[in-house]
């Protein structure tokens, strides 16, 4: 069996698991979510996935991300979560629109993916700030699962170019940053100890 396929499947499973773990406390009404953030992430993930599909360089990780965003949005809609649209959500959407427009005019997928990844960087800033400032960031298990999935996505890469590799690499970097922020608090330092001790 091809090793890239195996790593792709593992990346998909752990990435999909991220959303399951994220949604559990929301469904139990212990946490809430914000629709605008997931709308922006769905557009960004889908845009990069579209470019990868066009170039025949699909990452299963991105498939899981796109499906996961749709599921979170559906659950959020069902529980009547607030949209809370912010300026950075608009900035992300505009950047993705510019990327798609440039791609349609020039056919340059690498340039489009670069702009879309910049949009993800912009969208990640408020998320990082929220995690860093929160005394109890939600779903630490979900973030750990995300990190594992992002790690598997890197050896799953077959084409080491901007379209094929940049997305998985950026997602891994972002996941490391987010997990570092999650483990910053005293409560989640205890969580880390439990993970290391398999408690």
Cα–Cα distance list, 172 to 135, 154, 180 (Å): 24, 8, 12
Residues with pLDDT less than 70, the chain = 1, 134-138, 185-199
pLDDT score recorded for residue 187? 56
Contact status, residue 64 vs residue 106, Cβ threshold 8 Å? no
pTM for the model stands at: 0.84
Predicted pLDDT of residue 171: 93
Instruction: Give the model's pLDDT for residue 137.
Output: 56
What confidence tens digit (pLDDT) does each residue in 94-117 have? Answer: 888 888 888 888 878 888 888 888
Distances (CA, A) of 6 to 2, 59, 60, 161: 7, 12, 11, 20
Position 186 scores a pLDDT of: 47
Give pLDDT, residue 17: 94
Predicted pLDDT of residue 139: 72
Report phi then psi at 103, rounded to 5: -65, -40
Instruction: Note the pLDDT of residue 189.
Output: 55
d(CA 17, CA 23): 10
Question: 154: number of CA atoms within 13 Å, CB side?
Answer: 11
The pLDDT of residue 16 is 96
Encoded tokens for 34: 């914000």
On the CB side of 194, how many CA atoms lie within 13 Å of its CA? 11
Tell me what pLDDT residue 146 has: 94
Nearest residue to 68 (alpha-carbon basis) of 175, 146, 165: 146
Instruction: Supply the pLDDT for residue 192.
Output: 52
Which of 132, 118, 110 lies closest to 188, judged by CA? 132
């Amino acid at each position: 069996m091809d090793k890239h396929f195996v790593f792709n499947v593992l990346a998909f499973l752990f990435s999909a698991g991220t959303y399951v773990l994220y949604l559990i406390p929301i469904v139990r009404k212990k946490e809430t979510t914000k629709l605008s953030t997931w709308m922006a992430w769905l557009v960004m993930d889908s845009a990069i996935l579209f470019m990868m599909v066009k170039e025949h360089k699909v990452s299963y990780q991105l498939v899981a991300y796109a499906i996961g965003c749709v599921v979170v949005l559906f659950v959020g809609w069902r529980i009547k979560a607030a949209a809370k649209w912010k300026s950075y959500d608009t900035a992300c959407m505009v950047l993705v629109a510019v990327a798609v427009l440039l791609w349609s005019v020039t056919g340059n997928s690498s340039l489009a993916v670069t702009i879309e990844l910049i949009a993800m960087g912009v969208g990640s800033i408020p998320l990082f700030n929220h995690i860093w400032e929160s005394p109890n960031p939600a779903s630490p298990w979900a973030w750990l699962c995300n990190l594992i999935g992002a790690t598997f996505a890197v050896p799953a890469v077959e084409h080491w170019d901007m379209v094929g590799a940049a997305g998985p690499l950026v997602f891994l970097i972002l996941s490391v940053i987010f997990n570092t922020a999650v483990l910053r608090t005293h409560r989640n330092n205890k969580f880390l100890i439990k993970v290391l001790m398999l408690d």
